[in-house]
Amino acid sequence: MKTAFIINPVAGRGRTAKIWPEIEAAMKSAGEAGDPYFTGGPGDAERLGRELPQQGYQRLLVLGGDGTVHGVLNGLEMEKAQIGILPTGTGNDFCRVLGISKQPKEALMQLLQGTTKKVDIGLVNGRRFLNTIGVGFDAEVVRTTNEEYRQLKGTLAYVASLIKVLAKYRNQHLTIETETATFSGKMLLAAVGNGQYVGGGMQLLPKAEIDDGVFHLCLLGDVSKAEVLFNMPKIFSGNHLSHPKVSTLTARKIVINCRRPLTVQADGEIIGETPVEVNILPQALEILVPKTVKI
């Protein structure tokens, strides 16, 4: 199968550029071939996702974080190529969902010896996403992480950003509409998930499944700063769902509005502001997964 690597050399604080020679050597040792393509700036991952299948590449292996995968996904003609993810970014949350090793060389072997799975993807105002979108506090944490804490690793970067944003953030009045329900009131955040994890391992949407044809929605209501800090450890295990100010439901279509525009993130990238409409495309993407993992 004709294979290309899409490599974001600055992902993971430049870690990806250092790892690539090891991945290239491991690929050769496995008797496989793959051509490297490096991103050089904004829009490159999306462009490569679009152009490489047109050049006959049937398998795209992405070295980077969730944001790099997000870019590739938005350029991809999904019926022409399958993708695999080697985690070298900050969060790598969708790799957790797929059961892919945190070690890129081990992840490569898992995918080369693995299988493929059809997974759902989402559309937010027409833009594709693979893992989650967030409105409000969640999106401001992502913005701060991307702008100020890139030098920190994984979960630590998100926790540092969370504490900084929490100090000044004020809960906002949101209205969320689905096919079956409407929620309106002051909230800390609204998160829509295809995958379970955000922020480098926080299990914000523990019941989400990537192939069930529905989104899982988590609304954190008008919680105080003290409540956020006290309950934050529970988010890592998914035990925050028992909190009386947390609401969850499933839906195929979600509309989110706010009295004033709020920042929106998708797969760890800032993509715009509210209002947003979110729709699901069931089992639209073929993705490489380890053989031994049940998802």
- Is residue 283 within 8 Å of 94, Cβ to Cβ? no
Domain count, the chain: 2
With CA atoms as reference, report the closest residue to 157 among 93, 68, 70: 93
Which CATH number is 143's domain given? Answer: 2.60.200.40
Please tell me whether residues 52 and 189 are part of one structural domain: no
pLDDT of residue 31: 93
pLDDT in tens, 67-114: 899 999 999 999 899 999 999 887 788 999 999 999 999 999 999 999
Measured between alpha carbons, how far is 200 from 234 in angstroms, rounded to an integer? 15
Considering the domain architecture, whether residues 144 and 276 belong to the same structural domain is answered as yes
DSSP 247-270: EEEEESEEEEEESS--EEEETTEE
* 8 close to 45: Cβ distance less than 8 angstroms: yes
Strands 189-193 and 132-136: antiparallel
Instruction: With cut-offs at 50, 70 and 90, classify the pLDDT of residue 11.
Output: confident
Q: Per the structure block, which two tokens stand in for 114?
A: 């693995």
The pLDDT value recorded for residue 155 is: 80
Does 125 have pLDDT greater than 70? yes
What distance in Å separates the CA atoms of residue 295 and residue 280, rounded to the nearest whole number?
Answer: 19
Q: Could you give the CA distance from residue 132 to residue 194 in angstroms, rounded to a whole number?
A: 6
Please give the order of strands across the beta sheet that includes 246-251: 246-251, 215-220, 189-193, 132-136, 263-266, 269-273
Angstrom distance (rounded) from CA 237 to CA 261: 31
Q: Which domain holds residue 221?
A: 129-282
Tokens of 155: 């979960």
Distance of CA 222 to CAs 106, 185, 186, 257, 277, Å? 43, 8, 5, 16, 23
| Straight-line distance from the first to the last Cα atom of the chain, in angstroms, rounded to the nearest whole number | 25
**55 and 105 together in one domain:** yes
In a domain, 90, yes or no: yes
Band (18; pLDDT cuts 50, 70, 90): very high
**Residue 119 vs residues 181, 225, 234, 247, 270: alpha-carbon distances, Å:** 26, 36, 27, 25, 23
pLDDT above 70 as % of the chain: 99
Say whether both 135 and 94 belong to one domain. no
Instruction: State whether 102 and 143 are in the same domain.
Output: no
CB atoms near residue 156 (< 10 Å): 12
Give yes or no for residue 281 having a pLDDT over 80.
yes
Interval 181-206: pLDDT, tens: 999 999 999 999 999 998 888 899 99
Residue 122 placed within a domain: no
Q: What is the reported pLDDT for 148?
A: 87
